[in-house]
Amino acid sequence: MISRAGSGPLRRLVVLRHAKSARPPGVADHERPLAPRGRRDAPAAGRALAEADCLPDLALCSTAVRARQTWQLASAQWGTPPPVRHDPRLYAADVPDLLAAVQAVPPEIRTLLLVGHNPGLEELVLALAGDGLGDTLDRVRVKFPTSAIAVLAWYGSGWDALRPGVALLTDVLVPRGKKK
């Protein structure tokens, strides 16, 4: 169950790991683009978010090319994408950096999408989830693959109140696009 210890509205943090990236020779890690599979999977992630009624009010996205491309392809599946902030702190971020970025989000945002990288995203999900529905926690512990989506729900007056262990991991999705 979601702890009612916090006061305020229900909030959702939707965590999306970037889609599968390519590894072209001589290209810096930050500049790596999506691989063909990633270009198929990112739109599938966008469709999955829409089908799960998890469209965000705001997106925070790593500045890495593969994360920005994931955001562009996923959000193109929605009628009107929300605002996005490309945040350099999200590239190669650990849990404290990711949590600091989330905690700085304005309180009027109810559903926040975070697009970034492992291992930080997986560790953030596991740190924030005090519990999970069904086998969601076990699934994240085993693997949080490219294009994976984790949905965390919690009650709070603002994002600055989000702390480890207070959220409920309600869903884990791994959408895949079809080869043409």
Q: How far is CA 11 from the centre of its chain?
A: 14
As a whole number of angstroms, the distance between CA 43 and CA 78 comes to: 10
> Other CB atoms closer than 10 Å to residue 118's CB: what's the count?
15
Q: Averaged over 7-16, what is the pLDDT?
A: 92
Cβ atoms of residues 5 and 146 within 8 Å: no
Q: What is the pLDDT of residues 35-87, one digit of tens each?
A: 999 999 999 999 999 999 999 999 999 999 999 999 999 999 999 999 999 99
pTM for the full predicted model: 0.94
Tokens in use for 95?
Answer: 């849990």
Q: What is the pLDDT of residues 148-172, one digit of tens each?
A: 999 999 999 999 999 999 999 999 9
Greatest CA separation found in the chain? 51
